[in-house]
Every structure is written in C-alpha cells, then in structure tokens.
C-alpha cells in the first residue's frame, strides 16, 4: 500500500506537491530549520576543513 504522500488519485505527486504537503504538517518546517541550523552547519564545517586541508579536491 503506497504512502499517502506518494500518490494522489492514483497519480504520483510532483516534487513541489509533495514538498507542499510535507511542509503543511505541524513541526516539519521547524525541524527543517533545526537541521539547517545544527546538522548541516556541522557538515559544512567538515567539508570546509577537508577542502582547506587538501583532502577533498
């Protein structure tokens, strides 16, 4: 059985439709903001450090 966000009237949702549905759910936008603030900031720091040490081209 497909997940409710994957299909609409038997048709697949576009990326934009799926994103809009997910962001309309309580807490989703806040969690994305938290991830951007915390988790992705750590990834950016790690990638910057790798690049500056010439580990990553």
Boundaries of every domain in the chain: 7-52
Tell me the per-residue pLDDT of 20-49, one tens digit each, with 9 for 90 and over: 999 999 999 999 999 888 888 888 898 899
Q: What is the pLDDT of residue 8?
A: 64
Collect all residues with Cβ–Cβ distance below 8 Å to 4 and sequence separation of at least 6.
Answer: none
Roughly what angle, to the nearest 10 degrees, separates helices 39-52 and 28-37? 30
Other beta carbons within 10 Å of 37: 9
The closest alpha carbon to 17, from 8, 9, 25, belongs to 8
pLDDT value for 16 = 93
The whole-number pLDDT of residue 4 equals 62
Rounded to an integer, the average pLDDT of 1-8 is 60
pLDDT band at 11 (very low <50, low <70, confident <90, very high): confident
């Amino acid at each position: 059985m497909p997940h409710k966000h994957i299909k609409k009237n038997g048709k697949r949702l576009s990326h934009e439709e799926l994103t809009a549905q997910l962001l309309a759910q309580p807490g989703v936008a806040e969690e994305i903001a938290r991830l951007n603030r915390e988790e992705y900031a750590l990834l950016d720091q790690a990638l910057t450090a790798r690049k500056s040490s010439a580990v990553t081209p």
